[in-house]
Chain A
């Protein structure tokens, strides 16, 4: 019985390499946007990024008709939710998209983060209280511990076993929140802390009903995370993740310590999920055991798959869309799980790479290599011709 890739052909890796060269060297075919982007000089890229970031920061303030979620849902709050989903999707993308580990219990980490924020800031908790902003790194640290504790026994398992074990993990966290009295089950925690600061009228800046400040906080976190992850992806860690995802056996043979790098991905993904959970707890101001169900895990997965596994910009778009669509089109909000489930099936059949497929981003010095391959492709006949002339 074949155990590796059950449906794979023999010359699959060769085909993949050809595809890669093809994709880099044929700039015009359906790759307009990303090609245009790759051919921009660095300064130009930074310029456009700055404009994009500025636009992102302005988002809750501009209430564009037709795009806005009002009157059904408050637009700044909707923005905050979109940003939160985007952060979660970035984190899950590290696990699913980069390292190729199907995690169906991601909501477990999200829940742990939310409970960390609740336990250390809510007056309902008997724990030591700390300022809210400190709970974000604390939530990240605690969830890393959970991620590693779950990862050590399970990451040696094959992909589909891992999927079902993580599914179980998400449920265990939810059940424990119900069973353990200190976590207060359905009663939950109220008045969870918020970042400091008051408006002129004496109301807190980060009030639960104010979406915009929370949105700005979240996208600030996202920007920091994106820069850090971008560097990580171009480092040895990132290359090892890609090797892992593309072919675990081959990676192992080439000397990649696969288990260690899976654990890395799992831990980083967990940390991001935890931070997002802590932000969610602060913004909503209330945490109980009712919200962290398996449906949420699947929605997170939809965000990553829709955006494009392995593409962190795609993950942002995917996360924002998954949050935005039910808020904007309130008529179909009731059917959102049905719709997004169907989206998963349809995407897998017709466009498994998602809206924005991952770039063939295998090389550390990608730009330089890109130019070199492109130059080679421009003069394809010259090298053999010269050889013949020499003989």
Chain B
């Protein structure tokens, strides 16, 4: 009889480096989704519960695009630049779909309530309702099963470091996550819109008095979060080809939120740090405890501990305090 919980330090030791690489890869995906939570939270002080659905809509768009471009369950027989062009097209559609969904979520579930000055609980409940609606619209449309998996390219090992193989997708995802993070960070720090976002995060009323269009800033944050979720969706489909189903966003959403809190919610750099850390913790925990299902439990426990011990997260949690 196999044990349901182990403390298998030996297995962890043996798989340490491959678990690290894998954890960082997932961490990159968490980080990109976490950015959406962090930006909206920084500006509105609210958790966007529907962000996980924004993400999964992006994943659906990517799968549909790739399928119609001829990708399928087997490795495509194309030159690398053709694949790259196809993936670029897919990610653009994914980003668009996710951004449009985020826009709709904001317009339907947030804007009318903001106009009325509703209490916080009301926002949360309407966002949950919205997330439920999107999930089950997908369910009604696509049924309970995941989409047939789409393989994007032949995943080859690029490096071999002391027996640990590092695959192409890991390098791509982690690099892209870091790159996106730098772009967003610089965007928040340097552009006019970024300055507006910081101003609204710091003090919405004063920002409005200073001529910042608050509504525009809020809608932009939702859309930026959606665009990033679209990028995350591409990597998610790459890494978990059979994971695109109506509920697929839910658990990933909670983990991404955990990542955002871990790094410091409202903090762009914190989202990256939190994402990568959470990816590592989840992966180590899963190997240590002996079953893949422990990943989620470990992540929830991390969330509770972080909130208890250091609710402002590792890097502190204020989007408004960022200096240009």
Contacts and interface: CB of A to CB of B under 8 A. Distances in A.
B113 A348 contact: yes
Given A160-B124, A171-B300, A344 B118 contact: no
A154 B303 CA distance: 10
Nearest to B130: A345
A5 B120 contact: yes
A157 B44 contact: no
Interface in A318-353: 334-335, 337-338, 340-345, 348-349, 352
Contacts of A165: 300, 303-304, 307
Contacts of B139: 337-338
A100 B121 contact: yes
B136 A337 contact: yes
A342 B203 contact: no
Interface string B36-50: 000000001111010
B304 A168 contact: yes
A172 interface: yes
A118 to B, nearest CB: 18
Interface string B99-118: 00000000011001110011
Interface string A66-81: 0000000000000000
B257 A102 contact: no
A303 to B, nearest CB: 13
Contacts of B5: 179-180
A345 B132 CA distance: 10
Interface in B148-204: 201-204
Interface residues of A, number: 50
A3 B1 CA distance: 52
A348 B118 CA distance: 9
Contacts of A46: none
B16 interface: no
B302 to A, nearest CB: 10
Contacts of B17: none
Contact of A341 (B130, B201, B304): B130
B209 to A, nearest CB: 14
Interface of B: 1, 4-5, 44-47, 49, 108-109, 112-114, 117-126, 128-133, 135-137, 139-140, 201-204, 250-251, 254, 257, 261, 291, 293-294, 296-297, 300, 303-304, 307-308, 311, 318, 320
Interface of A: 1-3, 5-9, 100, 102, 104, 153-154, 156-157, 159-161, 163-165, 167-169, 171-172, 175-176, 178-181, 294-295, 298, 301, 305, 334-335, 337-338, 340-345, 348-349, 352
The 4 closest A-B pairs by CB, nearest first: A344-B129, A341-B132, A348-B126, A168-B300
17 contacts: A1-B201, A1-B320, A2-B203, A5-B120, A6-B120, A160-B47, A165-B303, A168-B254, A171-B251, A171-B254, A298-B128, A338-B136, A344-B125, A344-B128, A344-B132, A348-B126, A352-B122
